[in-house]
Amino acid sequence: MATRNYTRGNSANEISIAATIGTPGIAHTSVALHRGTGQKLIIAESGIDSGNIPKTAFGTAPDLENCKIIVVTAIDFSDIDPANWESARQNLFTRYGMSGGLSGAQVYNHDTDDVTVFLDGQLIIVTKVIILL
């Protein structure tokens, strides 16, 4: 799994995340904040169909020291002809947007090794880890 970095800086600006998922499947996205202390907090979840999450603020830069964001998107292709599952996976796009920190507005797409395939391609899980520097 490929990790990415987002520089939060030290300002009091709110840092936000949003998710846009493009798939013919049924998608669900969950965003969790993991603190260096081991505490985990779900900060946003999509509805059960699109996987999209609107821009959601989750803290200020000083409050997010030693934290990372883990975004998990589950996509179910069971409503699609199995002959098209591979094509649907290949054409999937994920855009996880971060803003408010020193890095400004950044978009993170999934990398090949962020995708885990289950049930012969019927279900895939995309996991993106973003370390807050």
User: Where exactly are the structural domains of the chain?
Assistant: 3-132
The model's pLDDT over 47-104, given as tens digits with 9 standing for 90+, comes to: 877 899 999 999 999 999 999 999 999 999 999 999 999 999 999 999 999 999 999 9
Phi, psi dihedral angles at 31 (to 5 degrees)? -115, 125
Sign of CA dihedral 106, 40, 76, 53: negative
The model's pTM = 0.91
Say yes or no to pLDDT of 1 above 90.
Answer: no
CA angle 77-80-85, nearest 5°?
Answer: 60
Do 74 and 66 meet the contact criterion of CB atoms below 8 Å apart? no
The Cα–Cα gap between 125 and 132 comes to 22
Rg (CA), the chain: 15
What pLDDT sits at residue 78? 93
What pLDDT sits at residue 49? 77
